[in-house]
């Protein structure tokens, strides 16, 4: 008779319905009802990675801008070239033709 009590319906993976029910309950508790659930953790990790990439991008941009600023402040020819190219400045007795 003890063998009859131990025999329960098992699915193709070898788990009975009680084990599957408990497993589903634990998964639902972890993903849905918990304050520090796994989904929030994964979303936060993804956001952190994205923000770290942005930080690295802006650090590189700041470094490039510092280099450009130093070049513009240290050499008058570079400053004149920058003003001519970006702001279409010219000397008094000079004609400028813009070609696209």
Residue 16 dihedral angles phi and psi, to the nearest 5°: -90, 170
Tokens of 42: 């994964």
Q: What is the pLDDT of residues 39-90, one digit of tens each?
A: 788 899 999 999 999 999 999 999 999 999 999 999 888 888 888 888 877 8
> Is 80 exceeded by the pLDDT of residue 22?
yes
Please list, in sequence order, all residues whose beta carbon lies within 8 angstroms of the beta carbon of residue 17, skipping any fewer than 6 positions away: 8, 9, 11
Please tell me the predicted confidence (pLDDT) of residue 67.
96
Alpha-carbon dihedral sign for residues 83, 85, 88, 91: positive
Confidence of residue 9 (pLDDT cuts 50, 70, 90): low
Reduced to 3 DSSP states, what percent helix, strand and coil does the chain have, rounded to the nearest 5? 70, 0, 25
CA distance 37 to 26: 12
pLDDT bucket at 33, cuts 50 / 70 / 90: confident
How many Cα atoms are found within 13 Å in the side-chain-facing hemisphere of 2? 0
Residue 6 has pLDDT above 70, yes or no: no
Please tell me the pTM assigned to this model. Answer: 0.55
């Amino acid at each position: 008779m003890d063998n009859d009590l131990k025999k329960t319906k098992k699915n193709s993976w070898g788990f009975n319905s009680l084990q599957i029910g408990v497993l589903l309950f634990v998964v639902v508790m972890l993903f849905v009802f918990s304050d520090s659930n796994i989904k929030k953790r994964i979303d936060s990790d993804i956001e952190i990675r994205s923000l770290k990439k942005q930080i690295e991008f802006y650090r590189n941009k700041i470094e490039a801008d510092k280099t450009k600023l130093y070049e513009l402040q240290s050499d008058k020819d570079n400053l004149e070239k920058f003003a001519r190219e970006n702001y279409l400045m010219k000397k008094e007795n000079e004609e400028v033709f813009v070609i696209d």
